[in-house]
């Protein structure tokens, strides 16, 4: 990035205070150094970090002043995101289909799509316009990639995986592997055939090394706008509502129904065959083992209480040693009083 302060003010639709010809070449978090960088401050604490750094300029709120060259805007964080967007560099990928890629004659690949080295595209695949498939990806039979999808290196789509428009799947993820289904018979675990598919909506993002299993029958479904972090496990026949967010190491058990606009913090998850309502949040490490009936924030393993109540209990537990000592002292005092009365 190389912009003047004046150009950045136009990008973020803000009001500039400082030299318009100041050159900005980078963007950094508040408190980091960067003599030609810009940052943002959405609170007094952030602004204090900025004032004590050598950063060149700062994005602030409408009524905020700074000793640094600054730009006032409605929302400094959102304005900073707009600047970050100018820094994006897509991984290089030549146009067309690379000579080392293996593409079935029965696949349909739009002329604007880019297929990288050593990719394999099986029969029945449909790849729409402006799709980018980076090196070493495997796209199995009857998969479909919507417009402007991005598959980063080493993504595997087994069979009948359908991705909506503008959906991104990051490196090493596997979509459409068999669900974990077995039944016990004659002293051994026997496999339940997994013959369904995976449907991912528009504008989704699937993190690196995440797994979404194919359905036993029917489809495993990920709603539009949903974002999955790295190392997330979605089991067979799960349905995840639109615009839900799941952080790293979340696991959702088979046939669960996750509502729209849910938030699952790191290492939280749900058992199989449970349901959560729309607009619900689950704290880090929370385990959902039963249906949740009311929207809200929950915490616990298993989840049993609203977040506020669980936090009060966690805080109280730090006082348990002192409380136990106090109870023992009181028991000793009561015992002493009883002995004196008996005399």
Output the domain CATH number for residue 198: 2.160.10.10
Q: Are residues 194 and 259 in the same domain?
A: yes
Q: Is 67 helix (H, G, I), strand (E, B) or coil?
A: coil
**Predicted local confidence at residue 128, as pLDDT:** 98
CA distance 251 to 223: 17
From the list 3, 110, 189, 236, the catalytic residue is 236
Same domain, 170 and 259: yes
Provide the pLDDT for residue 306.
76
Q: Which helix (H) or strand (E) holds 151?
A: strand 150-151
**Tokens 């055939």 map to which residue?**
193
Residues 189 and 74 in one domain: no
Last residue of a domain, one of 58, 85, 112: 85
62 within 8 A of 72, measured Cβ to Cβ: yes
170 is catalytic: no
**How distant, in Å, are the alpha carbons of 6, 14, 38, 64, 118 from that of 76?**
16, 9, 11, 11, 43
Does some domain include residue 138? no
> Would 127 be classed as within a structural domain?
no
Q: Is residue 107 part of a domain?
A: no
Regions of the chain short of the pLDDT cut 50: none
pLDDT recorded at residue 269: 96
Query: Is 215 within a domain?
Result: yes
How far apart, in whole angstroms, are the C-alpha atoms of residue 119 and residue 303? 43
**Domain range for 334:** 312-343
Residue 96 and residue 100: Cα distance in Å, rounded? 12
Shared domain check, 327 and 299: no
Of 29, 56, 85, the last residue of a domain is 85
- Within the chain, residue ranges assigned H as helices are 5-11, 44-51, 76-85, 307-317, 320-342
The model carries a pTM of 0.85
Domain assignment present for 190: yes
Q: Rounded CA gap, 343 and 315, in Å?
A: 43
d(CA 116, CA 327): 70
Of 80, 5, 16, give the one whose Cα is nearest residue 46.
80
Evaluate whether residue 104 is within a structural domain.
no
What is the reported pLDDT for 222?
98
With respect to residue 146, please indicate whether it lies within any of the assigned structural domains.
no
Structural domains counted in the chain: 3
Asked if 20 and 57 sit in the same domain, the reply is yes
Q: Which residues pair with 318 in a beta bridge?
A: none
Domain assignment present for residue 106? The answer is no
Question: Radius of gyration (Cα) for the chain, nearest Å?
Answer: 27
Task: Count CB atoms within 10 A of the CB of residue 126.
Answer: 16
Residues 55 and 178 in one domain: no
């Amino acid at each position: 990035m190389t912009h003047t302060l004046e150009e950045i003010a136009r990008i973020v639709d803000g009001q500039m205070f400082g030299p318009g010809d100041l050159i900005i070449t980078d963007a950094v978090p508040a408190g980091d150094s960067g003599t030609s960088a810009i940052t943002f401050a959405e609170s007094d604490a952030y602004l204090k970090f900025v004032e004590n750094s050598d950063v060149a300029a700062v994005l602030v709120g409408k009524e905020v002043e700074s000793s640094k060259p600054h730009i006032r805007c409605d929302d400094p964080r959102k304005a900073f995101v707009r600047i970050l967007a100018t820094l994006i560099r897509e991984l290089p990928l030549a146009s067309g289909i690379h000579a080392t890629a293996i593409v079935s004659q029965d696949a349909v690949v739009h002329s604007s799509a880019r297929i990288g080295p050593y990719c394999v595209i099986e029969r029945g695949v449909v790849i729409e316009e402006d799709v980018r498939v980076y090196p070493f990806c495997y796209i199995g039979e009857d998969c479909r990639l919507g417009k402007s999808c991005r598959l980063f290196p080493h993504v595997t789509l087994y069979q009948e995986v359908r991705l909506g428009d503008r959906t991104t799947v990051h490196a090493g993820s596997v979509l459409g592997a068999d669900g974990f289904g077995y039944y016990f018979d004659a002293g051994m675990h026997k496999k339940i055939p997994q013959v369904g598919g995976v449907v991912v909506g528009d504008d989704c993002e699937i993190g690196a090394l995440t797994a979404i299993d194919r359905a036993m029958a029917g489809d495993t479904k990920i709603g539009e706008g949903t974002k999955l972090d790295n190392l997330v496990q979605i089991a067979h026949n799960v349905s995840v509502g639109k615009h839900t967010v799941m952080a790293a190491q979340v696991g959702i058990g088979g046939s669960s129904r996750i509502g729209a606009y849910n938030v699952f913090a790191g290492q939280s998850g749900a058992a199989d065959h449970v349901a959560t309502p729309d607009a619900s949040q689950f704290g880090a490490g929370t385990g959902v083992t039963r249906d949740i009936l009311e929207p809200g924030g929950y915490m616990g393993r298993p989840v049993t209480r609203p977040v506020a109540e669980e936090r009060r209990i966690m805080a109280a537990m730090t006082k348990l040693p002192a409380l136990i000592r106090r109870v023992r002292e009181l028991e000793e005092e009561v015992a002493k009083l009883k002995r004196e009365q008996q005399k």
